[in-house]
Chain A
Amino acid sequence: MAKRFKSDLKHSDVTPQKHFLNRRNLIIGAGVLGAGAVAGTAFGTLGAKPAVAEGALDLTPNTLKEISSYNNYYEFGASKTDPAKYAHTLTTDPWSVKIDGLVEKPGTYDLADILKNADLEERIYRFRCVEAWSMVVPWLGFELASLLNRVGVQSKAKYVAFETLFRPDEMPAQKTSVLDWPYVEGLRLDEAMNPLTILASGLYGKELPKQNGAPLRLVVPWKYGFKSIKSIVRISLVEEMPPTTWNTVGPNEYGFYSNVNPEVDHRRWSQASERLIGGGIFAKRQPTLKFNGYEEQVADLYTGMDLAKNY
């Protein structure tokens, strides 16, 4: 089994959110003086965020407000602010996950049972959206590999397929055909077993907000955000590469792999750089890192592959 990934940083190592916010205010106060109070939100982090080069390596988490008010979760609407507005209608308890396909112990697992057996830990990861913005998120989760090992993966399995809940009564946009529902995603088995790949059930040490994919979501930090499927109800071990939602929508624009790669552009925009959310209007753009900065941990998964072809 691969070596477990250990983050050098814990949430407690960074400035607590409360103080972080206070620090911002101090900076605003010092910098903008009189106009500080109103200028706060727009220019607040002008001084707090570092410049281009070190910016990409900075792992100061975004605030809970930023992380939970700027989401792509099309089940609740296509606007970034829709999920925070509408996701409260989702019932996340009771919740179970069906694990089937090429596994030794298929079945419907209750979420409480999954979490009871999980080794929950904090992982502060960069999160890079395919739309060229990014955040840093302190997830609470456990390695997907541990769950897969628990249910026993059969040797014929090559891929893992994931499925989001389909419940139009609680997920209003599922009544429209903006995407083919339910949302589906997939990973190659070795990607799924990589110690960086986690299932998250929390954020900032608390329960995952519903707009962030409660109660259980995937997090694959070296891939574009849409690979990290939310509100998972089914995990299937399969032999063939499974269909994935965005790839179905635009095969030219969204590949199965969708690894973060500044050298391979989206058909309609460059992926060379990104805007880190939370820096106000003058926040510096920062260069995007290959595999979102996790090259050391995951590059060997793709040895010999043409990443421009397998985008």
Chain B
Amino acid sequence: MINVLNAKLRSIPAWAVYILGTLPFLWLVYLLFSGGLGVDPVKALERGVGLIGLKFLVAGLAITPLRKFLGLNLLKFRRAVGLLAFFYVSLHLTVWLALDIQFFWGEIWADIIKRPYITIGMGAFVLMIPLAVTSNNRVLSKIGPVRWRRLHALTYPVLILAGVHYALIGKVWQIQALVYLLGIVILLLTRVRFAKCCSWIWQKVTPAT
């Protein structure tokens, strides 16, 4: 069953994911022009692209656990998912800078330095830049898979920062944001190599014979 699915998935080209991934963006643009974003389109757009970015980030993080626990192989789409996440997060930042805070640099710097959720959000974006820049085969072969993989472990702090950023925005704790954060934590826990750390503890507690 899962093998059939994997075989089917193998026949889907990665560029299809890029195309599908831009549909939410086109939908938001359509809503923007048709009035579907309501009376405060700036906030709706800012929140909209931000949340889509977070969804792609979470999706990218879920790919390895899905293979590990369900045998579902989506690995070939991970680059597309990651780059789409970067695209939406960049849009999120652009909407904030250009349409929301409108390049009031004084307020922007004050916000980045003084306000934790903005500091955290900016931190997540900055960490994503080297990941996006190195997401091509040329760089991969140039720096080698080991160093490349080590660099791309930055996705873990990015996910934590993004989840916290989202949770801190509301005036009250929003259930949805907390669910995302919890999901991120669970996905990250699956990446901890239990076998490795268990055997290490085992060695510690069992005296050598």
Residues of A that sit less than 8 Å from B by CB: 38-42, 65-66, 69-70, 74, 78, 80-81, 130-131, 133, 178-179, 246, 249-250, 265, 267-270, 272-273, 275, 277-278, 280-285
Contact = CB atoms under 8 A, between A and B. Distances in A.
Interface of B: 32-35, 37-43, 45, 99-102, 104, 106-107, 110-111, 114-117, 168, 170-172, 174
Contacts of A282: 99
Contact of B33 (A41, A66, A269): A41
B127 to A, nearest CB: 22
Contacts of B171: 130-131, 246, 249-250
B45 A272 contact: no
24 contacts: A38-B33, A41-B33, A41-B34, A41-B37, A41-B41, A42-B35, A42-B41, A69-B38, A69-B39, A70-B39, A78-B174, A81-B38, A130-B171, A179-B172, A265-B114, A268-B168, A272-B106, A275-B42, A280-B41, A281-B32, A281-B45, A281-B99, A283-B42, A285-B104
Nearest to A130: B171
A161 B17 CA distance: 57
B111 A270 contact: yes
Given A42-B32, A178-B172, A282-B99, A269 B40 contact: no
A268 B110 CA distance: 11
B107 A38 contact: no
A131 B32 CA distance: 22
B39 A42 contact: no
A178 B176 CA distance: 13
Contacts of B32: 42, 281
- Residue of B33, B39, B43, B102 with highest tally of chain A CB at under 10 A: B39
A19 to B, nearest CB: 19
Contact of B39 (A39, A273, A278): A278
Contacts of B43: 133
A275 B100 contact: yes
Contacts of A268: 115-117, 168
B172 A273 contact: no
Contacts of B174: 78
Given A42-B32, A131-B171, A268-B168, A273 B42 contact: no
A89 B45 CA distance: 30
A78 B172 contact: yes
A64 to B, nearest CB: 11
- Residue of A65, A278, A282 with highest tally of chain B CB at under 10 A: A282
Contacts of B40: 70, 80, 133, 275, 277
Given A78-B174, A131-B171, A268-B116, A281 B41 contact: yes
A278 B43 CA distance: 12
B43 to A, nearest CB: 8
A65 B45 contact: no
Contacts of A131: 171
B168 A270 contact: no
B38 A70 contact: yes
A222 to B, nearest CB: 21
A278 B172 CA distance: 25
Contacts of B37: 41-42
B42 to A, nearest CB: 5
A46 to B, nearest CB: 12
Contacts of A249: 171-172
A78 B174 CA distance: 8
A179 B117 CA distance: 22
A309 to B, nearest CB: 18
A53 B43 CA distance: 22
A62 B146 CA distance: 58
Contacts of A41: 33-35, 37, 41
B33 A39 contact: yes
A275 B34 CA distance: 21
B104 A273 contact: yes
Contact of A273 (B35, B38, B107, B116): B107
Nearest to B174: A78
A270 B33 contact: no
Given A41-B33, A284-B102, 12 more contacts: A38-B34, A41-B41, A70-B38, A78-B170, A133-B40, A246-B171, A249-B171, A275-B100, A278-B39, A281-B42, A282-B99, A283-B42
A277 B100 CA distance: 12
Nearest to B172: A178
A113 to B, nearest CB: 36
Contacts of A269: 111, 115
